[in-house]
Amino acid sequence: MEGDTYSGLDNGTQLDGKVVQIFQKSFVQVQNILDQNRLLINEINQNHESKIPDNLSRNVGLIRELNNNIRRVVDLYADLSSTFSKSMDTSSEEDLSVAMRSDAKAGHKRNRP
């Protein structure tokens, strides 16, 4: 997979295989955190409905854990955004380089009358 490129973006830009691996790994991490959040929310709701003082006080810690998980998801998406932007910048620079080389070659051709 290393060195592979993937096209499929509307403008025909290709993604490096390493970038795709980073995306896949990050999305798996995000999904795991979101699954954990669903469990936390269910437990928080059950504790709230029970109105048992110990359960209600336990919710304080659970809500903190939920907030920390949300921060982690935001950070992962920010990292993904940065990785994607850098990947697109690199791809655009490569496209520009190829275009400039082909323009330079075209400039060296002799025009016939």
What is the pLDDT tens value at each position of the chain, 113 positions in all? 444 444 444 444 455 788 889 999 999 999 999 999 999 999 999 999 999 999 999 999 999 999 999 999 999 999 999 988 888 877 666 655 655 565 555 554 545 55
Would you say residue 111 lies in a domain? Answer: no
Query: Could you give the number of structural domains in the chain?
Result: 1
Domain with 58 in it: 10-94
How far apart are alpha carbons 101 and 113 in whole angstroms?
25
Please tell me the predicted confidence (pLDDT) of residue 58. Answer: 98
Would you say residue 88 lies in a domain? Answer: yes
Contact at 8 Å (CB) between 30 and 71? Answer: no
How far apart are alpha carbons 51 and 62 in whole angstroms?
15
CA end-to-end span of the chain: 50
Reported pTM: 0.67
Would you say residue 50 lies in a domain? Answer: yes
Would you say residue 110 lies in a domain? Answer: no
Would you say residue 68 lies in a domain? Answer: yes
Would you say residue 84 lies in a domain? Answer: yes
